[in-house]
Amino acid sequence: MAQSPAPGGRRAAKGKAGGSAPQRARPVTSYDVAALAGVAQPTVSRALRGGSVSEETRSRVLAAAERLGYVPRDAGRSLATQRTHRIGLVVADLRNFFYLGVLTAFEQRLAEAGFQVTLFREADDATLLARLSSGGIDGVALTSLTLHSSLPRELRERGIPTVLLNRESAHPDVDACVSDNIRGSRMVAERLVELGHRRIGAIFGPAETSTGRDRARGFRDALAEAGVALHPAACREVPYTHEAGHSALVEILGASPAPTAVFCANDVLAIGALNAAKARGVDVPRDLTVIGYDDMDMSSWEIIDLTTVHQDIDTMARTAAELLVSRVEGADEDLRRVVVPPRLVIRSTDAPVRAG
């Protein structure tokens, strides 16, 4: 940069300020405010942060700050306080609507607590760890985590407050806020049995995720207890995407005998399945019962009206935000794991099995 600070004083003259070029204006610093207010820089800091300053001085400083349009630079403050007031949110796929709800609730709660949210897309553990460690953030929420990722432990070792949101890890290294996926998926199984379904299929999520694992486990267990066998040819394990749900259902519809009901491990998959059913002219729920998991906002739309397991994302995200904030503020409590109870929401994509 060819803008050598003027010889002498810290923020003095600054050369001839350029002839006329619409150069990016030198930003206002606390020194400028101090000069205008006739005080020392630290006094500006104190006046603005609520330190011990006389009323008269404070108002003079505030007036000067106002007049110059002074806004403290984050970088300086962060360097001095070792705090950024920024929280990282790691998500696998922003296109997954589920995360919209998460992001919204999470951001909202954090904004209230004076934090900003910075997004991190899923990447390999090493890359992600480096990005998260660069100190740009005070804490992290991981929403897309595989069971055996070493990320939570590594973050813990680096002293970066972390919370798992929605998915959890195989090892209890950090705080977590999750739904009771086993219980939720059991409810689905019970409902299907109750409706008389006996040829039941499923589109499960990835086994290496806690939601994928638990929702499969609860579902299978409950069915087994009811003496109903899963229809093997009508089961798939796929990634949590709309496309995967779509094509999995197409495949499943080809099983013989065709299943009368399909459990989808999340709503994104379920909606993909509904679309596939529509494409194939399969009437839901007359010909096929579809039940999802999550209860995203759109699942209650009239054109979808999906029977699903309600997961209180709002509460989960807010709780995660609060856990994180308390950690960032130095709480040294034991590991916490908050489990939010699920609830079956019956809408119009499920129906009793048809005789014959």
Among 82, 286, 332, 333, binds DNA (CB under 7 A): 82
Residue 241: phi and psi, rounded to 5, are: -130, 160
In this structure, what token pair is assigned to residue 179? 């739904």
Nearer to a copy of itself, 25 or 355 (CB): 25
- β-strand pairing of 343-345 with 307-310: antiparallel
CA distances from 52 to 35, 46, 58 (A): 19, 7, 9
Binding DNA (rule: CB under 7 A), the pick from 35, 48, 62, 68 is: 48
Amino acid at 228: V
Helices (H), the chain: 30-37, 41-49, 55-68, 74-81, 97-112, 125-133, 151-157, 181-194, 210-225, 242-253, 267-279, 313-328
Establish if 23 lies at the interface with DNA (CB under 7 A). Answer: no
If contact means CB under 5 to 8 A according to the sort of partner, which of a copy of itself, DNA, none does residue 49 touch?
DNA
Question: Closest CB to a copy of itself among 133 and 326?
Answer: 133
> Which of positions 32-91 make contact with a copy of itself (CB under 8 A)?
69, 71-76, 78-79, 84, 86
Q: Pick one of 21, 24, 25, 75: the residue that binds DNA (CB under 7 A).
A: 75
On the question of a cis peptide bond just before residue 285, with omega within 30 degrees of 0, the verdict is yes
Query: 177 has which bridge partners?
Result: 165, 338
The interface partner of residue 67, options being DNA, a copy of itself, none and the CB cut-off 5 to 8 Å by kind, is none
Instruction: Provide the minimum distance between the beta carbon of 48 and DNA in the complex, in angstroms, as a whole number.
Output: 6
Cβ-in-10-Å burial (0-12, 13-18, 19+) of 316 comes to buried
Is 116 a residue that touches a copy of itself (CB under 8 A)? yes
Region 140-199 residues binding a copy of itself, contact defined as CB under 8 A: 157-159
For the record, the structure tokens of 106 come out as 């999470």
Span from 27-35, 118-126, 163-171, 290-298 in contact with DNA (CB under 7 A): 27-35
Cα 149 from Cα 336, distance rounded (Å): 19
Q: Which of 19, 21, 69, 80 binds DNA (CB under 7 A)?
A: 80
- For a copy of itself, give the closer residue by CB, 11 or 198: 11
Binding stretches for DNA (CB under 7 A): 1-5, 10-11, 26-27, 29-31, 38-43, 45-46, 48-49, 51-57, 70, 72-73, 75-77, 79-82
